[in-house]
Amino acid sequence: MLAAEAFDAVADVFEQRFGTWRSVAAQRSAVRVELMRAFPRGASVLEIGGGIGDDAVWLTRLGRTVFLTDASPAMVRTAQRRLGERAAVCPAERLAELDQPPFDGAFSNFAALNCVADLRPVAAGLQRLVRPGGQVVLVLFGTCPPGELIVQLARRDMRAAFRRMRRSAPARLGGREFVVYYHRARDVARAMAPWFRLVGRRGIGICVPPSAAEPWISGHPRLLGAMAAMDRAIAGPLARFGDHVAYRFERTA
Protein backbone atom coordinates (compact mmCIF):
# COMPACT_ATOMS: atom_id res chain seq x y z
CA MET A 1 0.00 0.00 0.00
CA LEU A 2 1.50 3.31 -1.09
CA ALA A 3 0.06 5.33 1.81
CA ALA A 4 1.40 2.85 4.37
CA GLU A 5 4.86 3.08 2.80
CA ALA A 6 4.73 6.88 2.97
CA PHE A 7 3.85 6.87 6.67
CA ASP A 8 6.48 4.20 7.32
CA ALA A 9 9.02 6.64 5.91
CA VAL A 10 8.13 9.39 8.43
CA ALA A 11 7.29 7.28 11.49
CA ASP A 12 10.51 8.17 13.32
CA VAL A 13 10.04 11.92 12.89
CA PHE A 14 6.25 12.13 12.87
CA GLU A 15 5.91 13.58 16.37
CA GLN A 16 8.68 16.13 15.83
CA ARG A 17 7.14 17.25 12.55
CA PHE A 18 3.48 17.54 13.53
CA GLY A 19 3.34 17.30 17.32
CA THR A 20 4.45 20.86 18.07
CA TRP A 21 2.07 22.66 15.70
CA ARG A 22 -0.62 24.60 17.53
CA SER A 23 -3.13 24.30 14.67
CA VAL A 24 -2.94 20.51 14.89
CA ALA A 25 -3.32 20.67 18.67
CA ALA A 26 -6.39 22.90 18.38
CA GLN A 27 -8.07 20.58 15.91
CA ARG A 28 -7.12 17.52 17.98
CA SER A 29 -8.69 19.10 21.07
CA ALA A 30 -11.95 19.60 19.17
CA VAL A 31 -11.92 15.95 18.06
CA ARG A 32 -11.28 14.78 21.60
CA VAL A 33 -14.41 16.55 22.79
CA GLU A 34 -16.35 14.37 20.34
CA LEU A 35 -14.54 11.23 21.51
CA MET A 36 -15.43 11.96 25.13
CA ARG A 37 -19.07 12.38 24.16
CA ALA A 38 -19.14 9.14 22.21
CA PHE A 39 -17.22 6.83 24.55
CA PRO A 40 -17.98 6.84 28.30
CA ARG A 41 -15.44 5.76 30.90
CA GLY A 42 -14.94 2.00 30.79
CA ALA A 43 -15.76 1.70 27.09
CA SER A 44 -13.72 -0.59 24.84
CA VAL A 45 -12.79 1.29 21.67
CA LEU A 46 -11.20 0.35 18.34
CA GLU A 47 -9.02 2.96 16.65
CA ILE A 48 -8.54 2.83 12.87
CA GLY A 49 -5.41 4.41 11.43
CA GLY A 50 -4.13 5.34 14.87
CA GLY A 51 -0.54 6.02 13.83
CA ILE A 52 1.86 6.31 16.75
CA GLY A 53 -0.96 6.22 19.29
CA ASP A 54 -1.44 9.77 20.60
CA ASP A 55 -5.23 9.55 20.86
CA ALA A 56 -5.18 5.95 22.07
CA VAL A 57 -2.81 6.81 24.91
CA TRP A 58 -4.89 9.84 25.86
CA LEU A 59 -8.14 7.85 25.96
CA THR A 60 -6.48 5.06 27.92
CA ARG A 61 -5.37 7.52 30.59
CA LEU A 62 -8.98 8.66 30.87
CA GLY A 63 -10.33 5.20 31.58
CA ARG A 64 -11.10 3.79 28.13
CA THR A 65 -9.59 0.60 26.72
CA VAL A 66 -8.28 1.21 23.21
CA PHE A 67 -7.09 -1.28 20.58
CA LEU A 68 -5.15 0.55 17.86
CA THR A 69 -4.81 -0.51 14.23
CA ASP A 70 -2.80 1.05 11.41
CA ALA A 71 -1.59 0.02 7.97
CA SER A 72 1.97 1.23 8.66
CA PRO A 73 4.16 -1.35 10.43
CA ALA A 74 6.63 1.36 11.51
CA MET A 75 3.85 3.44 13.06
CA VAL A 76 2.48 0.38 14.87
CA ARG A 77 5.90 -0.48 16.28
CA THR A 78 6.00 2.95 17.90
CA ALA A 79 2.43 2.54 19.14
CA GLN A 80 3.27 -0.85 20.64
CA ARG A 81 5.99 0.71 22.77
CA ARG A 82 3.24 2.86 24.28
CA LEU A 83 0.28 0.45 24.25
CA GLY A 84 1.85 -3.01 24.35
CA GLU A 85 -0.22 -5.72 22.69
CA ARG A 86 -3.15 -3.36 22.16
CA ALA A 87 -1.80 -2.28 18.76
CA ALA A 88 -1.67 -4.26 15.53
CA VAL A 89 -0.95 -3.83 11.83
CA CYS A 90 -4.27 -3.93 10.00
CA PRO A 91 -5.27 -1.83 6.97
CA ALA A 92 -8.69 -0.24 7.32
CA GLU A 93 -9.97 -2.18 4.31
CA ARG A 94 -9.17 -5.47 6.09
CA LEU A 95 -10.86 -4.87 9.43
CA ALA A 96 -13.10 -7.88 8.80
CA GLU A 97 -10.00 -10.06 9.29
CA LEU A 98 -9.23 -8.64 12.73
CA ASP A 99 -9.66 -11.28 15.44
CA GLN A 100 -11.05 -9.23 18.32
CA PRO A 101 -14.25 -9.37 20.40
CA PRO A 102 -16.91 -6.72 19.73
CA PHE A 103 -16.04 -3.20 20.86
CA ASP A 104 -18.31 -0.60 22.43
CA GLY A 105 -17.28 1.82 19.69
CA ALA A 106 -14.66 2.83 17.15
CA PHE A 107 -13.04 5.94 15.76
CA SER A 108 -10.62 7.18 13.13
CA ASN A 109 -8.95 10.56 13.43
CA PHE A 110 -7.27 13.07 11.12
CA ALA A 111 -8.20 11.69 7.72
CA ALA A 112 -6.67 8.22 7.98
CA LEU A 113 -9.64 6.99 5.95
CA ASN A 114 -8.92 9.50 3.21
CA CYS A 115 -6.17 7.08 2.18
CA VAL A 116 -8.92 4.53 1.41
CA ALA A 117 -10.61 4.64 -1.98
CA ASP A 118 -13.75 2.67 -1.01
CA LEU A 119 -15.23 2.95 2.49
CA ARG A 120 -17.64 0.04 2.09
CA PRO A 121 -15.12 -2.65 3.17
CA VAL A 122 -14.34 -0.50 6.21
CA ALA A 123 -18.02 -0.41 7.13
CA ALA A 124 -18.35 -4.16 6.57
CA GLY A 125 -15.49 -4.78 8.99
CA LEU A 126 -16.88 -2.38 11.56
CA GLN A 127 -20.31 -4.00 11.53
CA ARG A 128 -18.68 -7.16 12.88
CA LEU A 129 -16.44 -5.39 15.37
CA VAL A 130 -18.86 -2.87 16.93
CA ARG A 131 -21.78 -4.01 19.05
CA PRO A 132 -25.34 -2.77 18.26
CA GLY A 133 -25.85 0.68 19.72
CA GLY A 134 -22.11 1.40 19.67
CA GLN A 135 -20.82 4.75 18.47
CA VAL A 136 -18.40 5.28 15.58
CA VAL A 137 -16.63 8.62 15.04
CA LEU A 138 -14.92 9.12 11.68
CA VAL A 139 -12.87 12.29 11.17
CA LEU A 140 -12.32 12.87 7.46
CA PHE A 141 -11.09 15.74 5.34
CA GLY A 142 -13.77 18.32 4.60
CA THR A 143 -14.41 18.94 0.92
CA CYS A 144 -15.00 22.71 0.96
CA PRO A 145 -12.90 24.29 3.74
CA PRO A 146 -12.41 28.06 3.34
CA GLY A 147 -9.23 27.93 5.44
CA GLU A 148 -7.53 25.63 2.95
CA LEU A 149 -8.55 27.87 0.07
CA ILE A 150 -7.31 31.06 1.74
CA VAL A 151 -4.00 29.63 2.94
CA GLN A 152 -3.11 27.97 -0.35
CA LEU A 153 -4.08 30.99 -2.42
CA ALA A 154 -1.88 33.12 -0.15
CA ARG A 155 0.94 30.69 -0.94
CA ARG A 156 0.06 30.97 -4.65
CA ASP A 157 -0.49 27.23 -4.88
CA MET A 158 -3.55 27.03 -7.14
CA ARG A 159 -3.47 23.25 -7.42
CA ALA A 160 -3.55 22.76 -3.65
CA ALA A 161 -6.17 25.49 -3.17
CA PHE A 162 -8.77 23.64 -5.25
CA ARG A 163 -7.70 20.00 -4.84
CA ARG A 164 -10.57 19.05 -2.54
CA MET A 165 -13.07 19.85 -5.26
CA ARG A 166 -11.78 16.72 -6.99
CA ARG A 167 -12.55 13.18 -5.91
CA SER A 168 -8.87 12.40 -5.44
CA ALA A 169 -5.50 14.07 -5.63
CA PRO A 170 -1.85 13.00 -5.46
CA ALA A 171 0.03 13.54 -2.19
CA ARG A 172 3.62 13.20 -1.09
CA LEU A 173 5.07 12.37 2.33
CA GLY A 174 8.54 11.22 3.26
CA GLY A 175 9.53 11.26 -0.38
CA ARG A 176 6.79 8.73 -1.21
CA GLU A 177 3.77 9.41 -3.40
CA PHE A 178 0.23 8.16 -2.72
CA VAL A 179 -3.37 9.20 -3.39
CA VAL A 180 -5.77 11.06 -1.10
CA TYR A 181 -9.50 10.50 -1.66
CA TYR A 182 -11.96 13.27 -0.78
CA HIS A 183 -15.16 11.52 0.31
CA ARG A 184 -18.40 13.50 0.03
CA ALA A 185 -20.78 13.46 3.01
CA ARG A 186 -23.48 11.55 1.15
CA ASP A 187 -20.97 8.94 0.02
CA VAL A 188 -19.76 8.42 3.59
CA ALA A 189 -23.31 7.90 4.82
CA ARG A 190 -24.12 5.50 1.98
CA ALA A 191 -20.97 3.48 2.56
CA MET A 192 -21.78 3.03 6.26
CA ALA A 193 -25.42 2.01 5.64
CA PRO A 194 -27.28 -0.14 6.52
CA TRP A 195 -25.14 -1.15 9.51
CA PHE A 196 -24.62 2.39 10.78
CA ARG A 197 -26.94 5.36 11.06
CA LEU A 198 -25.56 8.90 10.83
CA VAL A 199 -26.54 10.75 14.01
CA GLY A 200 -24.56 13.96 13.57
CA ARG A 201 -21.49 15.73 12.26
CA ARG A 202 -19.32 18.63 13.39
CA GLY A 203 -16.74 20.73 11.64
CA ILE A 204 -13.17 20.51 12.90
CA GLY A 205 -11.11 23.52 11.89
CA ILE A 206 -13.64 25.85 10.26
CA CYS A 207 -11.85 28.97 11.48
CA VAL A 208 -8.75 27.22 12.85
CA PRO A 209 -6.56 26.96 9.75
CA PRO A 210 -5.12 23.75 8.29
CA SER A 211 -1.55 22.66 8.96
CA ALA A 212 -0.55 24.39 5.71
CA ALA A 213 -0.67 27.62 7.76
CA GLU A 214 2.25 26.38 9.85
CA PRO A 215 4.57 27.48 11.25
CA TRP A 216 3.10 31.00 10.98
CA ILE A 217 -0.10 30.36 12.92
CA SER A 218 1.76 28.75 15.84
CA GLY A 219 3.47 32.10 16.36
CA HIS A 220 0.08 33.75 16.99
CA PRO A 221 -1.50 31.81 19.88
CA ARG A 222 -4.06 34.49 20.81
CA LEU A 223 -5.40 34.60 17.27
CA LEU A 224 -5.54 30.82 17.17
CA GLY A 225 -7.37 30.74 20.51
CA ALA A 226 -10.00 33.14 19.17
CA MET A 227 -10.42 31.01 16.07
CA ALA A 228 -10.87 27.89 18.20
CA ALA A 229 -13.56 29.66 20.25
CA MET A 230 -15.39 30.60 17.06
CA ASP A 231 -15.19 27.00 15.88
CA ARG A 232 -16.91 25.76 19.04
CA ALA A 233 -19.84 28.06 18.32
CA ILE A 234 -20.35 27.11 14.66
CA ALA A 235 -19.09 23.52 14.46
CA GLY A 236 -22.57 22.04 14.19
CA PRO A 237 -24.42 24.25 11.71
CA LEU A 238 -21.37 24.88 9.52
CA ALA A 239 -19.86 21.39 9.73
CA ARG A 240 -19.41 21.06 5.98
CA PHE A 241 -16.86 23.90 5.97
CA GLY A 242 -14.42 22.20 8.35
CA ASP A 243 -10.85 21.38 7.42
CA HIS A 244 -11.96 18.03 8.85
CA VAL A 245 -15.48 16.79 9.52
CA ALA A 246 -16.29 14.48 12.44
CA TYR A 247 -19.08 12.10 11.43
CA ARG A 248 -20.81 10.29 14.30
CA PHE A 249 -22.62 7.04 13.54
CA GLU A 250 -24.59 4.56 15.64
CA ARG A 251 -24.44 0.83 15.02
CA THR A 252 -27.92 -0.33 14.07
CA ALA A 253 -29.56 -3.51 15.35
CATH code for the domain in which residue 14 is found = 3.40.50.150
Instruction: Please check whether residue 209 is in contact with residue 217, taking contact to mean a CB–CB distance below 8 angstroms.
Output: yes
Indicate the number of domains in the chain: 1
> Using only C-alpha atoms, what is the Rg of the chain?
17
What's the pLDDT at 227? 98
Q: What is the pTM of this model?
A: 0.96
- Structural domain boundaries, residue 171: 2-251
Helices (H) and strands (E) in the chain, counts: 10, 9
Cα 206 from Cα 243, distance rounded (Å): 6
Contact in structure between 188 and 248 (CB atoms under 8 Å): no
Out of 13-22, 102-111, 133-142, least confident range:
13-22
Express each pLDDT in 16-59 by its tens digit.
666 689 999 999 999 999 999 999 999 999 999 999 999 999 99
Angle between helices 22-38 and 54-61 (to 10 degrees): 50
Residue 15 pLDDT level (bands cut at 50, 70, 90): low
State the Cα angle at 59 between 95 and 6, rounded to 5°.
Answer: 50
- Identify residue 57 by its one-letter amino acid code: V
Indicate the average pLDDT of the chain. 95
